[in-house]
Chains A and B, each alone.
Chain A
Amino acid sequence: MVLRTLESMGPQHGFGLAKRILQISEGILDLNQGTLYPALLRLEQRGWIESRWGLSEKNRKAKFYELTRTGQKQIDRETDDWQRAVALMDRFLRPAE
């Protein structure tokens, strides 16, 4: 989800990501926003995102995260996997032909 958000939003800082995820899930995902950061760390360690320091809209110092090429490929791969899983489940769940 973080990766997709970055894909669509472009480079973003932690706060922005948290807000966006909250928005998209329409309140279903109501985690503590702080739990985002360990997740971001893990993504960065895997090389799917990279970080740099910059200035926010309000000229505050913030850390921005950006999707990498490997991250892009990861999105495609996972999307692929997800769709295949959905299709498979679908076949089982559809009433018998």
Chain B
Amino acid sequence: MRTFWMRFRSLFRRRKLDAELSDEVRFHLEMLEDEACERGLDPHAARLAAQREFGGVDQLTETYREHRGIAAIEILRKDIVHAARGLLRSPSFTAAAVVSLALGIGANTAIFSFINTLMLRMLPVSHPEQLVTMYRVGGWGRGYGSYPLYLGVRERHDTFSGVVARSGAGPERFRASALARSESVSTEFVSGNYFSVLGVTPALGRLFYDSDNVTPHAHPVAVLSYDFWERRFGLDPAVIGKAVHVGDDIFTIVGVARHGFSGVAIDQRPDIWVPAMMTPGKIEEAGNHWVWILARRRPGVSMARIQATANDVMRRYLAEFYGNTPNPAFRQFAMEQRLEVRDARAGLSSLRDKFGKPLNVLMAAVGLVLLVTCVNVANLMLARGVARRREIALRLALGASRGRVIRQLMIESLLLGGMGCLLGLAVARLGVRALLLFLPHSAGVRMEVSPDATVLAFAAGVSLAAVAFFGLLPAWRATNLDLGSSLKTGVAPGAGRHSRYGGRNLLVAAQVALSVVLVVVAGLFARSLSELRSIDIGFHERNVLTFMLNSPSSWKPEERTHFRLRLTERLASLPGVTSVSYGMPGPYLGGMSSTGLRVPGSARTANEPAMVAMQSVGPHFFSTIGSPLLSGREFETVGASSDRKTAIVNQAFARLYFPGVADPTGRVVSFDASRPDGGEPTYIVGLARDILHDGLRAKVEPTIYVPTAQAPGMSVDPWVLVRPRVNPSTLWPLVRQAVAKASPDVTIDDPRTIRERIDDSIFLERMVASVSGFFGLLALVLAGVGLYGVLSYNVALRTNEIGVRVALGSTRGRIARQVLADGLLLVGLGVAAGLPLSFAAGRIASSLLYGIRPADAVTFATTVIVLLSAGTAAALIPARRASSIDPMLALRRE
């Protein structure tokens, strides 16, 4: 054991130990010399005698060294140094190979980072594998439930050791003190046991107890997140006990959560946590849905048992709250709700469900890219192997075993792979940042994708796989030599024979095939995106600025209305503003709101009321968003109202409830759904186009628009719309100023233009199209470069042959055309191999495509044309070079 340890240590002290040995030997020799002198020899003879007595110093040193270190490692070290030097001597080869690898490895690592963060990485809490979440589905369920439902789950101590409730993290007005200006912070409302069930400790002060969440509106305490504490308060310990304004209330900060914890949702990072009981409004109302339920299961409880518990809880809950609803249609609708149990170890994410398939497709695409870069590097290495024939032949002739030489070549490949990996990590960082730019601007989504051990291990693994792929074949090929001729000429005999179907040519064809797949996929996604963008959403003013108002909940409806009018006037008078309006839920992805109504005279509502989508809008709504009414007029400015109730309907509504009628203005509907012939009439004053309020891919719904003042329960703030005649970004500061002047207590939430909203809603499609486009281009370039290299090489190889042909009368044009034909043949092979793969790839990605079939003819045809053009371009220079070979010079070269 001691032997091994001494040998191991001596690996690191080579030079020192070498010096020591030579000192010892010198001493010994000097002593022998002295003795010889004493015996009477002259100094010169004495030295010779001493050396003879001592023996061979070099052999001694060799033997000594063999025993001193660990031989295998010493040899390895030498090989590595030798390989490194070899790579440094050919900088262009090394640079090309390393950059290619870095792009391939980096791309894969970047996509994997996303996959890791979104799907694999567990929450930084204790025992995340015990966490589950309850999703309310069916009926109108979109995941979150009500507080009474949470209480029902909480009672089940048999299944769960702790159940927490949380709202999503949303923007709230915040003021650090009474005099500070209002800002917007991300706030989450949680139950008292939130931190204790998750196992989160405080960095400062204390976190919540159960006793902090008992009585509605009676617990004004707050906990900060570590990031917010650092960012906003500079890690000042004096925050504890500070009174801050959150929303409409004053809270006391009692603590800061530990570093590294930022909630349970991956794409939200709350700044402040407050007790759920502080939610404005009636917290315990069953119709109020805002609670995400998270539970920690008891050890040993299976998922099946948890689901059974959830079903049981839901059954009782539905029976209690909806069992006696008078409206039978509504009751049936409500009773469809279910509670779905999902694993929550990796946290919650609204992105995950949407992101999953596209990420997998991207992963496959960058896998192909890595393959392309590996093929590229393998090609480079084959070329290099040919160039080093003589050197390798010499080594083999001198006695190195083939295995040893292959090992040395593989060490070169490993060095390239290592450098590629390191550079690739840098590329991955850039790539991740670029990808994050695609994520929606909305305040809720703040995702952080940081590398961790898993990602690094992935990068290393991918690099190794790449090395094995591009290193082995060339190494094997390079050592497969006929020693005699290799040593003499440095060129393999019969090279001309192999040139057409040799390894390098096949590799290039493979590169072309892979490029075809990537370019086809990129084309499909690009066309799909352009189809999406050209959907008619019903209005054309995409520069409209939109934002939500956040006013104190203590305001009465009249105050709100008054404020809205004041603000509208101010905004309308700003220079650069064409018109102002407002609407609720909002013109694009604002949410859904529906109502029941009856249409007197329509068979559809004879027996029961119809549910239609509803928007309450202000004056000039349709002109502001650029959707001129098809007939009739917009709502009048508020204040000039008559007693008549008015409404505007869209084409879908008219088609359904007034079939055969060209213009429904003047017709009547009624929101009093209790009687078939309707109660109080509402007069239709206009016909609007079909507007896709629910997103690009939404179906058109029959929609009715009512004036804001008329809308029942309009005590919430609407979206404000500002149509600019200048660049929107110059207008935002003016808008904020106007709001602040109208009232200092009101903040703006989620300010975006319509264009930004649309882009955000298709961010996945944009991302996939951009990434696949980038890599399609990259693969194309690499294939082009590879083709150029191989054709140049072939021309150089056949210089003699070409010289003879020119001398015998062949025209230069024919020579050039032949080279071109060779190139196009390779491209053709690649395309032929690549097209079936592309079909398959298209089929796999078909669920992500919109409006395009996977076998889209335009895309495929364009790809073939692009590749043939690229191939021609790549073959031009070698063709020119071939055609300008001087036969005299060529034939003289032997």
Contact = CB atoms under 8 A, between A and B. Distances in A.
Contacts of B30: 60
Interface in B1-26: 2-3, 6-7, 20-21, 23-25
Interface hub of A35, A37, A56, A63 (most chain B Cβ within 10 A): A37
B730 interface: no
Interface in B34-83: 34, 53-57, 59-60, 63-64, 67-68
A3 B489 CA distance: 59
B63 A38 contact: yes
A63 B20 contact: yes
A18 interface: yes
B308 interface: no
Contacts of B25: 34, 37
Contacts of B32: 15, 33
A16 to B, nearest CB: 8
Given A44-B6, A45-B3, A15 B56 contact: no
Contacts of A14: 24, 27-28
A38 B64 CA distance: 5
Nearest to B31: A15
A61 B55 contact: no
A45 B2 contact: yes
A45 B9 CA distance: 11
A56 B67 CA distance: 26
Interface string A19-33: 000000000000111
A47 interface: yes
Given A32-B56, A63-B20, A15 B28 contact: yes
Contacts of B2: 45-47
A33 B3 contact: no
Contacts of A18: 28
B13 to A, nearest CB: 14
A34 B56 contact: yes
B3 A46 contact: yes
Contacts, number: 65
A9 interface: no
Contacts of A47: 2
Given A46-B2, A60-B30, A37 B56 contact: no
Given A45-B6, A46-B2, A60 B27 contact: yes
> What is the interface residue range for chain B against chain A?
20 to 34
Contact of A41 (B28, B34, B67): B67
B27 A33 contact: no
Nearest to A45: B3
Contacts of B21: 37
B15 to A, nearest CB: 16
B50 to A, nearest CB: 9
Contacts of B24: 14, 37, 62-63
Q: DSSP majority for the A interface?
A: helix
Interface in B384-429: none
A38 B389 CA distance: 40
Nearest to B35: A19
Contacts of A41: 64, 67-68
B27 A15 contact: yes
Nearest to B59: A34
Contacts of A61: 23, 27
A14 B68 CA distance: 17
A45 to B, nearest CB: 4
A94 B631 CA distance: 134
Contact of A37 (B3, B6, B53, B64): B64
Interface residues of A, number: 23
A34 B6 contact: no
B23 A38 contact: no
Contacts of B55: 31-35
A42 interface: yes
Nearest to B2: A47
A42 B30 CA distance: 24
Contact of B27 (A13, A31, A42): A13
B64 A33 contact: no
Contacts of B54: 32-34
A13 B30 CA distance: 13
Contact of B28 (A33, A45, A58): A33
A46 B6 CA distance: 9
A44 B27 CA distance: 19
B58 to A, nearest CB: 10
B149 to A, nearest CB: 73
A91 B624 CA distance: 121
Contacts of B64: 37-38, 41
Interface string A48-60: 0000000010101
A61 to B, nearest CB: 7
A61 B24 CA distance: 8
B60 A38 contact: yes
A40 to B, nearest CB: 9
B644 to A, nearest CB: 106
Contacts of A13: 27
Interface in B425-442: none
Contacts of B28: 14-15, 18, 33-34
Contacts of A15: 27-28, 31-32
B57 to A, nearest CB: 7
B60 A35 contact: yes
Contacts of B57: 34
Contacts of B3: 45-46
A53 to B, nearest CB: 8
Nearest to B27: A62
A32 B27 CA distance: 16
B51 to A, nearest CB: 10
Contacts of B6: 44-45
B646 to A, nearest CB: 101
Contacts of A46: 2-3
A14 B54 CA distance: 11
A80 to B, nearest CB: 23
A44 B9 CA distance: 14
A77 B6 CA distance: 24
A38 B7 CA distance: 13
A33 B53 contact: yes
A41 B20 CA distance: 12
Nearest to A56: B27
Contacts of B23: 61, 63
B7 A45 contact: yes
A45 B34 CA distance: 31
Contacts of A32: 53-56
Nearest to A32: B55
Nearest to B17: A41
Nearest to A42: B67
A97 B30 CA distance: 57
A37 to B, nearest CB: 6
Nearest to B63: A38
Q: Taking each of B28, B55, B59, which has the highest tally of chain A beta carbons within 10 Å of its own beta carbon?
A: B28
Contacts of B53: 32-33
Contacts of A42: 67
B61 to A, nearest CB: 9
Closest 5 CB pairs of A and B: A32-B55, A34-B55, A34-B60, A45-B3, A15-B31
29 contacts: A13-B27, A14-B24, A15-B27, A32-B53, A32-B54, A32-B56, A33-B28, A33-B54, A34-B54, A34-B55, A34-B57, A34-B59, A34-B60, A35-B55, A35-B63, A38-B64, A38-B67, A41-B67, A42-B67, A44-B6, A45-B2, A45-B3, A46-B2, A56-B31, A60-B27, A61-B27, A62-B27, A63-B20, A63-B27
Interface of A: 13-15, 18, 31-35, 37-38, 41-42, 44-47, 56, 58, 60-63
Interface of B: 2-3, 6-7, 20-21, 23-25, 27-28, 30-32, 34, 53-57, 59-60, 63-64, 67-68
Given A15-B27, A38-B64, 16 more contacts: A14-B24, A14-B27, A14-B28, A32-B53, A32-B55, A33-B28, A34-B28, A34-B54, A35-B55, A42-B67, A45-B67, A47-B2, A61-B23, A61-B27, A62-B27, A63-B23
